[in-house]
Structures are given as structure tokens and as C-alpha cells.
Amino acid sequence: MNAGHGWAGVRQPRQSSHALLLIPIVLILVITVVDQLVPGDIHLGPLLVIAPAITASFAGPRLTGLIGFLAVAAQAYIGWHFGVLFSRNVLVQILALAVLSALIVFFGLVRERHQRQLAQVRSVAEAAQHSLLWPLPERMGPLRIACLYLAAEDEAQIGGDLYAATRVTGGVRIMIGDVRGKGLSAIGESALLLGAFREAAHRHATLPDLAATLEQSVTRYLADFEPPAEAGERFATTLLLELPDDDHITRMISCGHPPPLLLSPGNALTVPSLHPAPPLGIAETGPDAYTIDVVSFEPGDTLLLYTDGVIEARDAQGRFYPFEARAAQWNKAGPESLLHHIQRDLLAHTRGRLNDDAALVALHREPDSHRRHGRVIHSSGFGHAS
């Protein structure tokens, strides 16, 4: 779901800034001419400072400095035209305009340096994101899969949200999670959790054993790297899923993570009732502390996994994004189209800025020749349930 970028998009901002440069130039000419036409007790020269101020809003320090120089030259010309160039009043106006133009250029240099630093951080964060959040396969067994990651921070393109999927004997195991914190500070714990899942998912026969192993990994990591000032405040919520190939169900374990949405044909939407365990890193727990919740997952159904950045997104009036209602509207779309609609609608709701990172994974079970099962909304137990 990543869009490519062409060279046309690189040239467009520079071309636009050159076109906009006509505005301050025309403004300088108009002020200079009109100042010579109005009565002598009216002085428009001080308005020339508007030209470099406008230029700084769309151009870099060099062009801003050029416009500032032209504005100072115009102010000097006006004084020369009226024969008062070396009067105290005109000299003060010229000096004030030069100082203000220099300040505008200085702050433009500071802004440009800050933007370069942000671009470097963004580049590093994007590389980290690509190395950690491997693109999920479009198909795994009977599943069609689509994923989406939206970053909240301008400084970084990765936060604490994560997802992973792996093919195991007889089915697929999937994890979605949210590490407390955002930006580069969350990368270490995210990397640990993703690596632990990819390894442990193949070594443990049951989801409770897998969850307990992830808990141990996070606990050991926090013991070594958690800052003393944040003791007890670092944790990760996760949702573990196991989807067998030969049975129309999904087994889930929630570690403090919100339940998925189950979208069924006919615009039916169900929110399974889960029995969540504490988030990872809060309490060191064994396999017996985890409850497996079993939900029917029939051919044609779609499971929509998400992090709290989606449901906690607000508009300008502070209203939460109506996630369930909107997801139900696009139930008949495939997983890729479903996430595309949600992405566009979510960004429109928040005017393009999220307060928290958001991740979504859509799992669609393809129709097959297996027998239909009666729909089970919820059941629980330990170990594998069937």
C-alpha cells in the first residue's frame, strides 16, 4: 500500500517557489511607485518589510535575503528620489529594514537546519521501520492479508505499533501489538518483541506457551534496559492469533490489547468478547495465566486487527473516530480496499495528523470446500481449543 514517488514530485516545489517569487517583487515595485505618487506626508516605505516576510514563508534563506536586499534598495531609492536619502529619518528606516530582513534570513536558516535534522531522523526511522516491520505476505494459506502503518510523529516514521505473521504447521500465527512510547525510543522493545515472536511461534505448540515466552523476553529486556525513572511504566499490549487451515475458527490471546472486529457477509459486525491477560512486561506470568478465546472465522469473513491509535483518533472537535461504523460500511471490499478506505477516512477525520501511531491488519478467509460450522462468538479454555 505504499505509493511511489516520481521526479515530477521533486521538481514541483522548486517551480512553485519561483512562481511565488513574483509576489514580493511586484509588491516592492508597487510600493515604490505608489510612494512617489501619494502626498508627501504619506510614507509607504516601511511596508517594504512585508516582501521578505512573505518570501520566507515559501522560499529558502538565499531568496529571502535577495528580496530583503531589493527591499532595502527600494527604500534607499525612495529617499534618493525625494532628496532626503541622508536624513536621519530615512537612514533609520533603511537600517531598521535591513536589520529586520537579516533577522528573517537568520530564522530562515535556523528553520532550514531544523528541517534537515528532521529529514535525517525520518530517514533513519524509515530504515528502521522497513527492517522491523516486514511486509506481510498478501496470501498465507487460506488467508488474504493486508496491513497498514500510520505514524503520528513528524520526526519519525515508526513508533511502538507492530505486527508480524508466520506460517506454522497446519496454520498461520499472527501478532499485533503496541509498545508504550513513540519514535526511536520504542524501536528497541519493538525489535525484541518481533524477533521473539518470529522465533517462538515455531517452537511452541500452544498459544499460552507462546505468550509466556514473549512475556519472559520483554521482562528480561526491561530488566536490562528500562531506565530507573520509568520503572514499571514500560509495557506492550499484544494480540496473538492462530488460524488453522482445516478449521473455520481463530484462537486468540489478548495481553491487554483491544479485540479485533469480525466482519461477516451482509455487513454484519461482531466484536468478540475476550478474556485479556495483563500487558507484557507488567507481571511475569506462566502459560496457565492465559485464556484462549475461540471465535468462528468462516469463509468470506474478515478479521480487522488494529491498535488504539485508530480508535483514539480525534477530529478538531475532540470526537473519536467512529471505527466500527466506518469499517462496517466497507465490509464487502477486499482487505486491501478496506484498509485503503479506512486510511483515507481516518486521515480526513483527523485532518492528516494522528495523536498516536496506528496499525491495522486485515485478514480475509477465502471461500473453500470445507463444511460450514455453526458460528461461535466466544468460548474459552487452555491449550488448543477446537
Tens of pLDDT along 263-304? 998 767 889 999 999 999 888 788 999 999 999 999 999 999
Q: What is the model's pLDDT at position 283? A: 81
| Mean pLDDT of the region 201-211 | 93
Looking at CATH, the fold of the domain delimited by 137-381 is given as: Phosphatase 2c; domain 1 (3.60.40)
Residue 323 has pLDDT above 60, yes or no: yes
pLDDT tens for 336-347 read: 999 999 999 999
Residue 190 has pLDDT above 90, yes or no: no
Burial of 345 (0-12, 13-18, 19+ CB in 10 A): middle
How does residue 226 score in pLDDT terms, banded at 50, 70 and 90?
low
How does residue 104 score in pLDDT terms, banded at 50, 70 and 90?
very high
| Mean pLDDT of the region 232-238 | 82
| Mean pLDDT of the region 73-77 | 94
Please state the separation of Cα 9 from the chain's center in Å. Answer: 21
Query: Taking a C-beta distance cutoff of 8 angstroms, is the pair 27, 7 a contact?
Result: no
The ranges assigned to domains in the chain are: 7-123, 137-381
Mean pLDDT lowest among 131-135, 211-215, 321-325: 131-135
Residue 172 has pLDDT above 90, yes or no: yes
Cα–Cα distance for residue pair 243/340, rounded to 1 Å? 24
Question: At a CB cut-off of 8 Å and minimum separation 6, what does 184 contact?
Answer: 121, 124, 125, 128, 156, 158
Residue 183 has pLDDT above 70, yes or no: no
Q: What is the model's pLDDT at position 265? A: 85
Cα–Cα distance for residue pair 370/372, rounded to 1 Å? 6
Amino acid at 97: L
3-class SS of residue 139: strand
**Cβ atoms within 10 A of the Cβ of 381, count?**
12
3-class SS of residue 280: strand
